[in-house]
Amino acid sequence: MRIRQLTILIILFGFQLFPVAAQNPELSDVPASAGDILQAFPLTDRTLSFNLSESGEHKDVNWGLDLAWRDKNNIIRGMAFMGPENVDIIRSSFMPTEPLLGDTALQGGALIYTKERIKIINDLLGPNTKVALNCDHPSVHSYFQGNAVNWANLIDVTTKMHQEAGFDVVTVSPFNEPDYSYTGQGTIDDFYNIIRELNKIPRFDSIRISGGNTLNNDQALYWYNYLNPAGLEEGNTHQLAGSFDTYAEFFQAVRTNGDHATADEMHNVMDAMVGLEYGLQTGIWWGWAEYARGEFCKVTKGERLGYAEHRPNWTAASVYRGQDGKVQAFCGSSERQAVSTTYTYISKDRDVYYDGYGPQRQFILEMPGGTGYQQGQTNAEKVINITWGDDIQPIINGRYLLVNRNSGKVMEVAGGSTAAGTNVRQATSTAATYQQWNVTPVDARVGGDFSYFSFKVVNSGKSIDVYNWSLENGGNIAIWDDTKGSNQQWYLEYAEDGWFYIRSRHSAKCLEVANNSTANGANIQQWDFDGGSNQQWRFVPVDAPVEFDAPDAPTNLVATANAESVRLDWTASPEDDVEEYTIFRSETSGGPYNTIARNVKSTAFVDNTCTIGGQYYYKIKAVDKSLNSSDYSTEVEAITTGDHDLVAHYKFNENTRDSSINLNHGATFGAIGYVQGKAAGSAIELNGEDAFIQLPATIASQEKITIATWVHWNGGSLLQRIFEFANDDSEYMYLTPMLFAIKNGGSEKRLTTTALPEGEWAHIAITLGEAGVRMYLNGEMVKESTEINIRPIEFKPILNYIGRDQKSVRLFNGSLDDFRIYNYELSGEEIAAIYEDIKTDVATVAEDFESSFAVYPNPVNKVLKFSYSNRELKSDASLKLYDVFGSLVLEEQLGNKFDGELNVSAIPAGIYLLTLTNGEELTTKKIIVRH
C-alpha cells in the first residue's frame, strides 16, 4: 500500500550513507538536522518560560550603590559594571559617634568621615546626585541614646552638608537594622520619636523618612506598621534572615499603603529580582555590584519576560529584555539562607542560544546553596545572555590560542616563564604551551557571581591576573598562582564574527594590546572599554593555524521542500581546512537571517523546525578551523507543502533516531535498554525510575495528529505516561495505559478505556482531527469523542516526552516500539494496516549487494550511469527513480542487464531516490539532479 511504500523511501532517504562530496575527509553529505544536538533534560525544581514575541512588563525602579561601607573602590567598581547612567542613588550615612557642636555641627570622626563620603560622591558622580542617608553606627554616643531631638539634629546637620555639596537628599533612615543592633541605636519607640522630631524640621517636608531597615525581613512589617503613624513615608528592609513570604509581602503592603518600597542593602541579585516582582522601587547594593548585578540594573530599564521563584529554597530567576533589545536571564540565591535549586529556562516561541549553547529551547542552571548561615552558602548569582540572529557567539570552554584582532598576534607569557608575576604580552604564534590557555567557566561555588571564566596558561597552570588588584587604566597583566580572586576572573562580551572583549571581574576593564601595537613583545594591559580592535580577541583551537583567509562560499545550494521540513544540499567549499557549515534561515528574501544550525559536518541539512505551508529563505557559510567564515552562499527559497505525512518514526533499533525524512531524532535520559521488539529489530526499554526520551520542541504542534506505537507494559500505576506533550500544568496532552487527556487552559478533557494488558505487546493509536478524538487498540477503535475539540497547535507543546510526564514522577515501566507521529488524522483502515503489518522495515540489505551498486556522476546534469557487479540479479530486478514525495519518476526493468544509463535531462532539478531491487533485497542511492 502507498503509506508503506513512502515509509520505505523516507527511511532510506534519512539514513542511506551517500558518497562523500566534501574536500575535507571529516565532512560528508549524510544529512544533519537539529535533532543531532537535541538533549534530554532532567526534571528541575522550577521552570521559567518566556516568549520573545510578546511584550513584557515594565516596572520603574531606582538602583544605587552604598557608601555606608566607606570604600571608594566599591563605588568605582559598581559604576563600572552598572554604568554611571544607571546609578540612580547613593547611600551615604550620618554617624552618632560624637556629640554635635552647639547642636548644629559635626566633629571628630563623624565630621571627617562625612566629608570623605561627600568627596567620593562628588568626585565620582558629581552634583545633583540623589542621596539616601542612614545610620552608620560603629558606636552610639550617650549624647544620642534615648534623645530623639539630638538624633534628629544629627540627621538634619548631615543632610544639610550633603545638600550644600549639591546633592539631592531624597530619603533618610533614622536607624539601620534596629532589630539586630547591639550598638545602642535605640528602641522602636526611640525610632518613633525621632520621626516625630524630623517632621518638625522644614527641611524634611520634601524628604522621605524611611524605616525600619530591618535585618530580618520577618520584622520589617511590624516595624513599618508601628512607625507609620509617626509620619513614615517609606518602607525598608534587608534580607539577611526571615521567610520568603514576609519579604515579598512587605513590599506589597508598603505599596498598597501608598508609600515608597525600598531595600537599601541588597546582598544578591535575588533580593532585587524578588523585590522588583512585588513592588520594590529603590534598591541599593551593599558593598559592590559586579557583572550580574550591573547587567540586571541595565536590563530592568526595559521589560520583564519571565519570572520564577522557589520560596522554601530562597532562590529566584528571571528573564528581561532591555531597552536596546538585549535579552538576559538571571538567577540568584539568598546570601545566608539559600538551598541548592535547579531552574529550567524555556523559550516558548523560538530556538535561542544561551551563552552560545544552542539552538535550543531549554537551558538548565543550578544555583548552589548551603545548610545554614555560613554553612556552604556562596551568595551565588549569574547572568546568561540569550541571543539569536545571524551572528552568534561561539561556545567557550577549552584550550585556545588567544588572537588579537588588531595585530593578528597571540597572547603569551614572556619568555615562556613559569614564575608568578611574569608579564603577559603578544607575539607571533608558534603554538608553544606558554601561548596556550585553558579557558573554562569558574566553579559555581567560586563565591558570589559565577558568570566568569578562568584563563590558565598551559605550561605552568598559572592564571591571568590583574597585577596588584589595579582599578586603573594601564593596570598590568601578569600570571600568578591560581587564587581564584576576582582579579583572576573574566567575563566575555561578544563583539562580532567570533571576536570577544575579555573583561575583568575586578575592574570591568578590557584586556588590550597597549597603544594598538602590532609588534612582538607589545604589552597587554587593562583599559576602559572603547570598542577598539586591540581589545578584541578570538579563541582559536590550539591545533589550528592563526590565519585570516576566509574560505570560499559553498555553491550549488538546493532546497527541497517536504511536508514539514526542508532539505538543503550543497557543494562543499573547496578548501582543505573547511571544518563545518553554518545554516541561516529567513522568512523574507534578503533577511534578516537567523542561525538555525552551526557546526554542521555535512553537505546536507534537514530543517525540521518549519511550519506547514511556511515560506523560507536559506543561505549557508563555510567555516574553517581558524574560525574564519566565508561569504554567504546564494539564497534559495522553499515552501513546505503541508501534505499529509509521517512527521517522525522511531523504530528504536538500538537508537532513538527518527527514520522519517524529517530527522526529528530523540534524545534519551537515564538507564535505557533495548530488547527484542514487536516490529523487526529491537524495542526501547524504560525502567520506570529515571529513563525517558525527549523529542524535539515543534514535533507535536499540529492542527491534526495521529500518534501510534506498540506498547509492552510491565504494570504499576495507571498514570504512567506512554507520552506527554506539554508546556505546563495548563497546557498538555498525554496517554497512559488507560486514558488519553488534553488540556488548554480550561478543564482537562479525557478519553478512557480499559487498561492495557500487562506483560504483552499491544498496539495503541490516538487520532485528533475533524472526527474528534479516537483511540484504537490493536487496530480497532475502542473509544471516541466528538466533544473534545482541543488541538495541540493551539498551545504548541515544547516539553515533549516518551515515557515521562512534565513532572517526571509518572515514568513508564515497559518497552515501546515503532512509535509514529503523523500530521493528519489516519483512518481506521490505515491504523489497522499498521497494526496488521508490524514488519514495516525494508528488507535487510546485504552488504555485498549494496556495495556492488554504483551510480555516477552525482550530482548529474543529463545522463546518470549505473553499474552492478554482483551478477546475481533475478528476472524481476528493477531500477526505479522516486522524487522525495514518493512519486515514481523513471523505471527500468533490468533483467540480466548489469550496467546502463538513465536520461534525467527532462526531469526537474532536485533530490531523488534511486532504488535497485534484485527481487529479494533492496538498496537506495540519493541522486541530485542539476541543470
* pLDDT tens digits, one per residue of 613-662: 889 999 999 999 999 999 999 999 999 998 999 999 999 999 999 999 99
Q: Does 108 have pLDDT greater than 70?
A: yes
- CB distance 586 to 577 below 8 Å: no
Q: What is the mean pLDDT of residues 189-196?
A: 98
- CB distance 313 to 342 below 8 Å: no
Under the banding of pLDDT at 50, 70 and 90, the label for residue 3 is very low
Q: Give the range among 87-91, 419-423, 767-771 with minimum mean pLDDT.
A: 767-771
Considering all CA atoms of the chain, what is the largest pairwise distance in Å, rounded to the nearest integer? 120
CB-based burial label for 924 (10 Å; 0-12, 13-18, 19+) = buried
Whole-angstrom CA distances from 354 to 300, 345, 387 are 19, 10, 7
- CB distance 793 to 738 below 8 Å: no
Task: Lay out the sheet containing 303-310: strands in order across.
Answer: 303-310, 315-321, 327-333, 381-387, 352-354, 357-360
Q: Does 890 have pLDDT greater than 50?
A: yes
Length of the chain: 931
Whole-angstrom CA distances from 194 to 172, 654, 763, 853 are 11, 77, 79, 96
CA–CA distance, 377 with 726 (Å, rounded to integer): 35
Q: Does 871 have pLDDT greater than 90?
A: no
Q: Does 7 have pLDDT greater than 70?
A: no
Pairing of strands 327-333, 315-321: antiparallel
Residue whose C-alpha cell reads 531595600 in the numeric block: 263
Structure confidence at residue 919 (pLDDT): 55
Tens digit of each residue's pLDDT (9 = 90 or more) over 436-469 = 999 999 999 999 999 999 999 999 999 999 999 9
Under the banding of pLDDT at 50, 70 and 90, the label for residue 808 is confident
Q: What is the dihedral of CA 415, 420, 423, 424, to 10 degrees?
A: 90
Structure confidence at residue 268 (pLDDT): 98
- Cell numbers for 581: 557549515
Q: Which helix H or strand E contains 291, and what residues bound it?
A: helix 291-299
Tens digit of each residue's pLDDT (9 = 90 or more) over 220-238 = 999 999 999 999 999 999 9
Q: Does 766 have pLDDT greater than 60?
A: yes
Beta strand ranges found along 242-322 (DSSP E): 260-266, 282-285, 303-310, 315-321
Pairing of strands 208-216, 234-241: parallel
- CB distance 63 to 88 below 8 Å: yes
More confident residue, 184 or 411: 411
- CB distance 654 to 645 below 8 Å: no
Task: Lay out the sheet containing 604-607: strands in order across.
Answer: 32-33, 604-607, 566-571, 555-561
Backbone angles phi, psi at 136, to 5 degrees: -95, 110
The share of the chain scoring above pLDDT 90, in percent, equals: 84
Structure confidence at residue 84 (pLDDT): 97
Predicted TM-score of the model (pTM): 0.88
Q: What is the mean pLDDT of residues 684-698?
A: 97
Task: State the chain's mean pLDDT as an integer.
Answer: 92
CA–CA distance, 674 with 683 (Å, rounded to integer): 5
Under the banding of pLDDT at 50, 70 and 90, the label for residue 898 is low
Beta strand ranges found along 627-779 (DSSP E): 636-639, 646-650, 667-669, 673-676, 682-687, 692-695, 705-713, 723-728, 731-735, 739-744, 749-752, 761-769, 772-777
Q: Does 400 have pLDDT greater than 90?
A: yes
| AA identity, residue 737 | P
CA–CA distance, 313 with 335 (Å, rounded to integer): 12
| AA identity, residue 575 | E
Kindly give the interhelix angle for 291-299 and 72-82, rounded to the nearest 10 degrees: 50
Structure confidence at residue 918 (pLDDT): 64
Tens digit of each residue's pLDDT (9 = 90 or more) over 517-548 = 999 999 999 999 999 999 999 999 999 999 99
Within a 10 A sphere around the Cβ of 323, how many other Cβ atoms?
Answer: 12
CB-based burial label for 798 (10 Å; 0-12, 13-18, 19+) = buried
Of 777, 557, 822, 906, which is closest to residue 10 (Cα–Cα)?
822
More confident residue, 171 or 807: 171
Could you write out the three-class secondary structure of 212-257?
Answer: EEEEECCCHHHHHHHHHHHCCCEEEEEEEECCHHHHHHHHHHHHHC
Q: What is the mean pLDDT of residues 293-313?
A: 98
- Cell numbers for 183: 550598638
CA–CA distance, 216 with 206 (Å, rounded to integer): 29
Structure confidence at residue 29 (pLDDT): 59
Which residues contact residue 472 at a Cβ distance below 8 angstroms, ignoring those fewer than 6 apart?
none
CA–CA distance, 767 with 828 (Å, rounded to integer): 10
Structure confidence at residue 613 (pLDDT): 80
Structure confidence at residue 376 (pLDDT): 95
Under the banding of pLDDT at 50, 70 and 90, the label for residue 25 is very low
| AA identity, residue 81 | F
> Where on the phi/psi map is residue 230: left (φ > 0), alpha (ψ -120 to 50), or beta?
alpha
Q: Does 552 have pLDDT greater than 60?
A: yes
Structure confidence at residue 17 (pLDDT): 25
Structure confidence at residue 8 (pLDDT): 28
Structure confidence at residue 927 (pLDDT): 82
Which residues contact residue 70 at a Cβ distance below 8 angstroms, ignoring those fewer than 6 apart?
93, 113, 116, 117, 136
Please write down the long-range contacts of 718-722, taking CB distance under 8 Å and 24 or more positions apart: 718/755, 719/805, 719/810, 720/688, 720/810, 720/811, 720/812, 720/813, 721/801, 721/803, 721/804, 721/805, 721/810, 721/811, 721/812, 722/764, 722/802, 722/803, 722/812, 722/816
Structure confidence at residue 804 (pLDDT): 97
Which residues contact residue 695 at a Cβ distance below 8 angstroms, ignoring those fewer than 6 apart?
38, 648, 664, 666, 725, 800, 801, 802
* CA 616 from centre of chain: 25
- Cell numbers for 451: 558568570
Backbone angles phi, psi at 92, to 5 degrees: -110, -170
Within a 10 A sphere around the Cβ of 600, how many other Cβ atoms?
Answer: 21
CB-based burial label for 128 (10 Å; 0-12, 13-18, 19+) = exposed
CB-based burial label for 132 (10 Å; 0-12, 13-18, 19+) = buried
